[in-house]
Structures are given as structure tokens and as C-alpha cells.
A and B are shown apart, each in its own frame.
Chain A
Amino acid sequence: MTAPVVVQPDIEAHVWAQVKHLPGVTAFTFAATQQDRAGWIMAHFVQIDARAKRRAPARATAEQARQIMTGLGDVPWAEGVVCYVQPTEGPFWLPDEDGQPRYTARYEVRVHPPRQPGAITPAPVAASPEGT
């Protein structure tokens, strides 16, 4: 028995494309888990750090990033579909070890590949009991 290989989209690149214009922002995925047996939906756990020279701008940037992340499902994306976004932590104050201002937030983002035309085969119509 063979199973089709599900090619998952690159959510890390998609997230970075949305937040890279924000100054002092870094984004990375630290975990990913399969959500269904077929491997169609993957949950990616993304951390976004917002750094600045002072606390207030760092907080404002983190809030901008939060709004972008929670609206990720509405952004057109040819490579895949974002079907769920949930902040799991923050944004909260977490300065670096040298004291540089930073706000950190984590998000769970679930994605699946785009549906190709013809990829879903409709179930056959059941025979009518009256015709038998």
C-alpha cells in the first residue's frame, strides 16, 4: 500500500514575507506537528520577537506583528491555505540578556496545501432503492 506524499507549503517564508517590513522583527518556527492521519493539515508554532532601542516602540511593533499574524488567513497565498491562527503566548515583555528591549509572542498556525482542481473525487451517487 502506498500513500500520496503531501507537499506542505513553507509557512515560515510566508510569515516572514508578511512581517519583514517591521523594523527589529525576527520570526522563526520552533516546532511543527501533524494534525491528521493523512498529513494534510500541519500545525506550525511560530515565535515572533520585536526589538527596538526603547520599550514602547518594541511593544508597538509587537502589536503590529500580532495584527498581521491574526489576519494571516485573509492574505492570499498561492502555495497553501492558512486555516487557523491562534496566539499561544504574549506579546509579553522579555528583554534580551543584555537588557535590550524585546517583546515576544508565539502563535500556532495551521496550514494545508492548496486544493488542486480534480484533487477531490466526488463520492458516487448511491443507487436508488426504488430502482432495484
Chain B
Amino acid sequence: MNGGRVTFTTTRQDGRNARLCVQPDIREAAQQLASRAAANTPRATGRMAASWRTAPGYSDPATTVVTNDAPYARFVEYGTRRRRAHAPLGRAVAAGSGT
């Protein structure tokens, strides 16, 4: 502080500091989302329910992606002409948006 003037100095000019600060919370939220999606997943063999993963997203430290590599996961999530959608991830996201 100098004569009533405050000077802030950031060590990075690209705005990544703020993104790095929220990274742990974002990662935790993504893990909770994956857990809820796993709980919502219907079980026949249990393969899809056990296949939910989180991973750092792209080059942004404040992004975490939730994935499922079961080959039929998309059909369970979104349904098909003959099978209804179970939407395990969609329902997990919805549950996170309510009161």
C-alpha cells in the first residue's frame, strides 16, 4: 500500500491462477457426479456402473470430464428406438441443480 493506493501483482497474466484455485473443487464435484451416475446406472453385468471415470479436461485446469467407456453407454444414457433412456448421467446432473 502506498499513499492510499493498493497495488496487486499477479504472478501469471493469463488468468490461470483463478482456474487453478477452483481446480480441487471442480474435481470433487465431478467425482460426486460420477458417483451419482454410477448409482443411477442399471445393472445387468455391472460393467457400465463400474466404468464411470473422471479425468482432467483439455488444457483447462478448471475442467474435469466425466466419461464412461462401456461401448453401449450411449444407448443406456440416451435410449434407442426400442429401449427407453435410463439417463444415469443426465439424472445425476439434474439432481445437482435442485434445492
Contact = CB atoms under 8 A, between A and B. Distances in A.
A105 B78 CA distance: 9
B91 interface: yes
Which range holds the interface residue count of chain A? 20 to 34
A97 B75 contact: yes
Instruction: Give the residue among A30, A35, A51, A94 with the most B Cβ atoms within 10 A.
Output: A30
B90 interface: yes
A43 B90 CA distance: 13
Contact of A100 (B81, B87, B90, B97): B81
Contacts, number: 54
Contacts of B21: none
Given A47-B85, A47-B87, A94-B74, A31 B80 contact: no
B98 A43 contact: yes
B90 A34 contact: no
B7 interface: no
Contacts of A61: none
Interface in B54-99: 72, 74-75, 78-81, 85, 87, 90-91, 93-95, 97-99
A47 B95 contact: no
A59 interface: no
